[in-house]
Amino acid sequence: MGMQISQLNVRHSIYISTPQRHVWSEFETFERFQAWYSTGHELETYEPKTSGLIEQNVTINGIEHPLGGVINVFAAEEEISFSYN
């Protein structure tokens, strides 16, 4: 694994029973990632590369809350890890 996880980090993992190439294609562009990831919030920036940005916002009770961070690991067909404020 490319990212070290400490006690203060949250890790979310899922298993999808399909070839890695198929799954990874959903992370390759802003448009593909936005199509399934933007449920309940709005993806605003997604730069699919290590050190790229991922920014979104969610509206709760009429107030927008920005979320996002830096993509720490972007390893094709292996791992995507990002920080999240």
CA distances for 62 relative to 5, 57, 84, angstroms: 34, 12, 22
Q: Would 73 be classed as within a structural domain?
A: yes
Residue 77, both tokens: 């067909």
Judge whether 67 lies within some domain.
yes
Name the more confident of 7 and 75: 75
pLDDT in tens, 22-45: 888 988 999 998 888 877 778 999
Quote the CA–CA distance of 68 and 46 in Å, as a whole number.
10
Residue 12: is its pLDDT beyond 80?
Answer: no
- The whole-number average pLDDT for the span 7-27 is 76
pLDDT band per the 50, 70, 90 thresholds, residue 5: low
In a domain, 10, yes or no: no
The count of structural domains within the chain is: 1
Contacts of 72 (CB under 8 A, 6+ apart): 2, 3, 50, 81, 82, 83
Full domain range(s) for residue 71: 20-82
Inside any domain, residue 3? no
pLDDT above 90: residue 19? no
Element (H, E) at 23: helix 20-24
pTM above 0.85, yes or no: no
